[in-house]
Amino acid sequence: MVQAQLQIALVICIPLITLCSAWDVKVVMTLTFVQFALFFLTFWWELARWLDSWLLDVLYNSDTHSSWNLAGIQNTQDDVIINLVMRLMFLVLPTFWLGAMTWAGVRVGVALNGALAG
C-alpha cells in the first residue's frame, strides 16, 4: 500500500518536476532511476518477508522450543536478534536501495549533461 502511494505520488510529480527543472537531463535521469527503484522495492520487501518466515521457522521448530521449554525463556536472545534483523531488512535495506539508485541516477544525469554540453 505504501509503495503504491509512493509510485502514484512520483508519477503525479514527474511532469511538475521536469517542467520546473527546464527539462534538464540530470533531473530526468534521476527521476528515471528513482522510478525504477520504487518499482523494484517489491523484490526487497518480498525477500525480507521470505527471510522473516524462514528465520521464524528455523527458530521455533528447533529443539529450544520443545515441550520442556514452554515459555520460550531460553530463546530470548534469538528473538531479539531476529527482531533487529527484520527491522533492518524491512526499513534500512529499502532505504539504502532507494538512496543508492538515486545517487546513481544523479551521477548518470551529470555524465549525460556533460556529454551533451560538449
Per the CB < 8 A criterion, the answer to whether 44 and 92 are in contact is no
Contact 113, 24 (CB under 8 A): yes
Query: What pLDDT does residue 7 have?
Result: 95
Query: pLDDT tens, 51-96?
Result: 989 988 887 776 666 666 666 566 677 778 888 988 889 999 999 9
Expressed in angstroms, the distance from the first to the final Cα of the chain is 44
Q: Is the pTM of this model over 0.85?
A: no
CB 37 within 8 A of CB 108: no
Return the H-helix or E-strand segment holding 85.
helix 76-87
pLDDT of residue 55: 84
User: Where do the domains of the chain lie?
Assistant: 2-117
Q: In whole angstroms, what is the distance from residue 30 CA to residue 69 CA?
A: 53
Which pLDDT tens digit goes with each residue over 90-116? 999 999 999 999 999 999 999 999 999
